[in-house]
Amino acid sequence: LLGKMLECGMLERDRQTLKRRSASLLKHLMVDEMLLMLLQAEDILTGNMAESIMAEPTSQKRSWHLLQILPKRGPGAFSCFCAALRETNQQFLSDMLTQCPERDGVERHMKVDGNVNIRCHSMEFSLDADSPIKSPVLPCSADFYHSHCQKAYSMTSSPRGLALVISNVTFDPSVTTELDTRKGGEVDNEVLRKVFTELDYLVSLHVDLTAEAMKSCIESFSRRPDHRAVDSCVVCLLSHGVEGAVYGTDGQLLQLDWVFKAFDNAHCPLLQNKPKMFFIQACRGDEMDVGVEQIDGPIRTGSPSCEQRDAGRERQNESHPGQGGHDGRRIKLPQRSDMICGFASLKGTAAMRNTKKGSWFIQDLDMALRLHARDTHLADILMQVKSFFGFFLFFTAIFISSV
């Protein structure tokens, strides 16, 4: 009886709204574990349904699968879906579904946060500068891809690659008193998870790890057999730091040189000849410019609410790895190749972070990827990001968003 009720229970008005907005939902909807957990908590989805949705290989297919199920899940499915959208920072999609003129026969203009007009029937969303909603990631055109694919890395696998995000926000006060909570760091986590999911990466997020746990996590990730079937890899490390290292929550340092080594051609053969992208949000020293809002570090400055410092001192350790490769007639590879690393700050300087909006580097990286991933080499994208400094070991271009 319950199954029958759920099968036919959605109101026709709600069913038609989902149908009319399906194209936009397929384009913009972010279906992830959090969204599905919220729907499961309201008994809109079963565990098996959530698993089958997450098993879909692309973000768009996950969205399509969910939209096929929702109309059959009872009269409360529509309102629960809209509530889940709001909980996962997809307010604009909830507004699109609940406040559009087709639902009451009247075309109207709405206010979002008291600032910005949205005209539903045109599907145009103009949001205020403080809104977390970003431009969707768009694929490159077929013409652009075919005219550049011979000069670029292959980025056609689905998923496009695996992405690892390790973010340390809260540090253990019993072992270190110099490393304050990185307020705003949780915003960065969500930003990175969303943008790389939209770019069709399988994202693994780990929060508040000791240095040893970070090392173990990275080792496990670098050895995943899934790397064989994908075209690229992303690693994001967010923490307090010094030149050449980042802190674990226990105040111990993880050397970045070790991180890069874990993904080189000798230690991670499944990623040979594939682009490996690293993004490091951490300080590399104590120096700072005058007039900044916030820095990412352990010693508080004069501001009581939003200024912090994230710096320590560590002897610079520059190692020069030997050459890797195979003997005989095989072509030898350098031990480290096909890597790019974007740092949030220059050598010797502090990284900037806003306690409400997240770090400057991650904010700018997110927007630059969303606007330019479809037709711009990653090295050129990073040059548009404020406070960026990186080393480049790519031999061909990366266009992250492909057809």
Active site residue ranges: 240, 283
Same domain as 150, residue 276: yes
Same domain, 222 and 341: yes
Q: How confident is the model at residue 233 (pLDDT cuts 50, 70, 90)?
A: very high
What tens digit of pLDDT does each residue of 8-65 get? 568 888 888 888 888 878 877 888 888 999 999 999 999 889 989 988 877 778 888 9
- Of the three residues 80, 98, 116, the one that is the final residue of a domain is 98
pLDDT digits (tens, 9 = 90+) for 289-346: 444 444 554 443 443 334 344 444 333 333 444 444 444 445 566 777 889 998 988 8
155-183 tens-digit pLDDT: 889 899 999 999 999 999 988 778 999 99
**Inter-CA distances, 95 with 19, 301, 337, Å:** 16, 40, 46
Residue 222 lies in a domain: yes
Average pLDDT rounded to a whole number, residues 232-259? 95
* Mean pLDDT over the full length of the chain: 77
- Do 89 and 150 lie in a common domain? no
CATH code: domain of residue 57: 1.10.533.10
Mean pLDDT of the region 198-202: 92
Q: Are residues 203 and 149 part of one domain?
A: yes
Which residue do the tokens 């499915």 mark? 77
Judgement on whether residues 202 and 257 belong to the same structural domain of the protein = yes
**293 compared with 214, residue with greater pLDDT:** 214
The answer on 80 and 222 residing in a single domain is no
83, 226: one domain: no
Domain of residue 85, residue span: 12-98
Asked whether residue 129 is domain-assigned, the answer is no
Whether residue 158 is found in the same domain as residue 79: no
Residue 158 lies inside a defined structural domain of this protein = yes
Query: CATH number of the domain that 248 lies in?
Result: 3.40.50.1460
Q: Is 69 a domain residue? A: yes
Residue finishing a domain among 45, 69, 98: 98
CA separation, residue 364 to residues 195, 243, 381, 384, 393 (Å): 12, 22, 10, 8, 22
Same domain (yes/no): 180, 242: yes
In a domain, 315, yes or no: no
Domain's final residue, options 38, 69, 98: 98
Task: Give yes or no: residues 166 and 37 share one domain.
Answer: no
Domain count along the chain: 2
Would you say residue 50 lies in a domain? yes
Is residue 73 located within the same domain as residue 148? no
- What is the C-alpha separation between 377 and 390, in angstroms, rounded? 14
Tell me if 117 is assigned to some domain. no
- Residue 151 and residue 208 share a domain: yes
Q: Is the CB of residue 130 less than 8 Å from the CB of residue 173?
A: no
pLDDT at residue 309, as a whole number: 44
pLDDT above 70 coverage of the chain, percent: 72
The answer to whether position 282 is within a domain reads yes
